Amino acid sequence: METQFIEIKALEVRTFIGVPDEERAIAQSVWIDLKIVSAVPFDKCADDVQNTIDYAAVAVAIEKLALEKPRRLIETLAEEIKNLVLVAFDAVEVFVRVRKRILPNARWVAVATTGWSDKKSLS
């Protein structure tokens, strides 16, 4: 079976995140990668954004979520994003990766999570 998905790569969002208090005191960037499976196959969208997942709206919702409150762990933010996309955007499946530049000798650190809804794809 073919899997169709909407992908957002390296969505930069600002958030207050980090284990030490000093790290959470200043907003910093994290980068979000998403793969989202909609309940409606692409060939059934009828060229209408109402029939699919509006990726611009997803990006705005994630930006808002990231700034809602401080967090210690990027794992927490990843789970919150996963739940947001599954519930608010009626996704069937979502993959979320959150990347953060924190270690001096690494490009970034990342966590990833995948979730599924109880809904079935209409394919």
CA distance 16 to 79: 16
| Structural domain boundaries in the chain | 6-116
User: Which amino acid is it at 8?
Assistant: I
Q: State the fold for domain 6-116.
A: GTP Cyclohydrolase I, domain 2 (3.30.1130)
Q: For residue range 1-26, what is the model confidence (pLDDT) as tens digits?
A: 568 999 999 999 999 999 999 999 99
Residue 118: per-residue pLDDT: 81
DSSP the chain: -----EEEEEEEEEE-B-SSHHHHTS-EEEEEEEEEEESS-GGGSTT-GGGS--HHHHHHHHHHHHHHS-BS-HHHHHHHHHHHHHHHT-EEEEEEEEEE---TTSS-EEEEEEEE-S-----
The residue with greater pLDDT, 112 or 39, is: 112
Q: Is 60 or 117 the better-scoring residue by pLDDT?
A: 60
Tell me what pLDDT residue 26 has: 95
